[in-house]
Amino acid sequence: MTTTAVTIHPASEADHEEIVHILVASYAEYKDTFQDQERWEAYVKDMKESLDNPYLAELWVAKVDDQVVGTVQLFETAHKAYPNFELPIDYPFIRLLGVDPEWRGHGIARELLRQCVASAKDMGKDKVYLFTGGQMVNAIRLYERFGFVEDEEFSPRNSGGNAICYRYDS
């Protein structure tokens, strides 16, 4: 845990460049798990374009002093988080949690997850969901330590995919 104060704020337009930088840097460790360079580039493009998603309910940043060190996105439902997929999860959905690699291990991701849980409660919901890739072992460890459990009903890996659906019950 950090001894420096981490604060969570709604992101501003001025934060977007830093958010993209953090997302690309934080997901770069998984670059070699993509089948080819084109798929990785498409993923980076998706991260950049995610900030313009009209269904994005909340975009949060974690700051230390005035420096953005982490970010997370929250959608009202899974379908709004992934409009190209038919996902019958009518609960808030987390996407693109990222922490600057230099700031990992300071509890920043946990604070961002806490904010998402609090926001879900403010929406009147007692669950929050997310997808992660099976290769993202550090993320899986974080989610499970936080209290997320796999929701096998919505994990596409059961039908040959690599995604795992996690649910947090508050």
pTM of the model: 0.93
Shortest CA distance to 66 belongs to which of 3, 112, 1, 4? Answer: 4
Print burial letters for 100-116: b (CB count within 10 Å at least 16), e (below 16). beebeebebbbbbbebb
Instruction: Go through the domains of the chain in sequence order and give each one's CATH number.
Output: 6-169 (3.40.630.30)
- Give the model confidence (pLDDT) of 64-78 as tens digits: 999 999 999 999 999
- Give the model confidence (pLDDT) of 1-44 as tens digits: 445 799 999 999 999 999 999 999 999 998 888 878 898 999 99
